[in-house]
Structure 1
């Protein structure tokens, strides 16, 4: 696969990471590394927050586990697609439209203009109910190994933003391509969540501002609309193809 095609996914992760620290289904969970006070009680997106004296290694381990889960999911999705699910031209086209419509929905979700993706997050609660009890023996996250395990589990928390990226990963048509796509997406979210882990509430207040969310939403929305434009025309858009998140079938 073309490595340059991963850049748009990285940008989607970067722009969408404002969602990770804002409202998600009306709830935001904050885990405090090294403190047993915080316990996740519902389907939330958790952010590993470290006090100034916290250990950077634990923050990196937490995010490494989270991105590892994304890559695993992307590898499975891409592998299934490559095994035959998307070999029919009609299914490829339908998948391409759906992936870009999900990006449009994500952009609107980030701007808080339409919260349809919240229904998808609710649909994923069944899996999370089975995984959530595994967190109990891992809290507090007072070692890098615990943080890695918690991050790995938290990668499966219901999240419309991850689902949007996962559809794009599926369109890569191979396990390696799908894992690489989700790695690029996860790395895009890393700067914001690392900053949250080190700066805590100070950064959170800035990134939850409405102008920041709108800017991120507009960028993701633009990627989706560009992909739909290419699908509607059925032709290459020249150099703009480099900005399309989903590979054309």
Structure 2
């Protein structure tokens, strides 16, 4: 795993983990619908969320493949810095969303409306949720609901310029959302209090914004991050990490 991919995956995980309020609003009702009995209290929500993360992985792979096609058509030297800058801007938008400063991510949710209008009627195939396969299928469909957070992370997936790496970024994002939504099913009151902590949300937004700053600097001054560049000379061991 390259250093930049590690940073993207880590920022995606943090964004998913601390984006709990948004995820609960989008998916909490469906998670609750999978928790109608004690024997199903964990298995069904887990299956639902695994289906949702699988959809994220497919979308991430498609985004990464598009990024790879752009690199192939126009050359990595020209396209990769631009993709890196776009991914960094997406991370800034996510950071602001986490901090509650400006919900930019909601403004782009309408972009996926056309796709979701075609998929939403099929959710009835999986209702009521009375088996693990139905929970899995419902989650796989719900993974395509219009979500600004997901779209921002798909931009970072595209910046990897690789289908597998794009899928990995989105899996990391989905894995970050998993504790919130599984916890929502099992310990609703405690999870609600935890994700409402302003200190945690500001801390997470600063982490994600820091990754965005790093990416923007790398896009603007790629030579400085080369093995013999200024940044790598000032930070011992960084050149090996960024390979």
> Which TM bucket (shorter chain)?
0.7 to 0.9
* 1:219 alignment partner, one of 187, 207, 211: 207
CA contact (8 A) 1:7 1:184 kept: no
1:181 aligns with 2:169: yes
Over 3 Å counting, the alpha-carbon distance change for 1:52 and 1:232 in structure 2 is farther
* 2:150 alignment partner, one of 152, 162, 183: 162
Which structure 2 residues correspond to residues 70-81 of structure 1 after superposition, within 5 A?
70-81=56-67
Q: Distance in 1 between matches of 2:110 and 2:101?
A: 18
Q: Distance in 2 between matches of 1:242 and 1:103?
A: 24
Aligned residue in 1 for 2:50: 64
Aligned residue in 1 for 2:20: 21
1:229 aligns with 2:217: yes
Aligned residue in 1 for 2:228: none
Aligned residue in 2 for 1:45: none
Q: What is the CA-CA distance between 1:6 and the residue it aligns to?
A: 4.8
Higher helix share: 2
Which structure 2 residues correspond to residues 234-245 of structure 1 after superposition, within 5 A?
234=222, 235-236=224-225, 237-238=231-232
RMSD: 2.9
Structure 2 unaligned segments of length 5 or more: list them. Answer: 226-230
* 1:208 alignment partner, one of 185, 196, 217: 196
1:85 aligns with 2:70: yes
Which structure has the bigger radius of gyration?
2
Over 3 Å counting, the alpha-carbon distance change for 1:176 and 1:130 in structure 2 is same
CA contact (8 A) 2:109 2:146 kept: yes
* 1:116 alignment partner, one of 104, 111, 115: 104
Q: Distance in 1 between matches of 2:37 and 2:241?
A: 38
* 1:142 alignment partner, one of 130, 133, 138: 130
Q: What is the CA-CA distance between 1:243 and the residue it aligns to?
A: 8.8
Q: Distance in 1 between matches of 2:102 and 2:239?
A: 27
User: What's the secondary structure of 1:146's corresponding residue?
Assistant: helix
CA contact (8 A) 1:50 1:199 kept: no
Q: Distance in 1 between matches of 2:50 and 2:63?
A: 20
Over 3 Å counting, the alpha-carbon distance change for 1:119 and 1:13 in structure 2 is same
Which structure 2 residues correspond to residues 24-63 of structure 1 after superposition, within 5 A?
28=26, 30-31=28-29, 35=33, 54-63=40-49
Deviations 1:192-223 (A, max 9, x none): 22222221233123212333322222221111
CA contact (8 A) 2:63 2:163 kept: yes
Over 3 Å counting, the alpha-carbon distance change for 1:233 and 1:105 in structure 2 is same
User: What's the secondary structure of 2:93's corresponding residue?
Assistant: helix
1:196 aligns with 2:195: no
What is the TM-score with the length of structure 1 in the denominator?
Answer: 0.79
CA contact (8 A) 1:67 1:183 kept: yes
Q: What is the CA-CA distance between 1:117 and the residue it aligns to?
A: 1.8
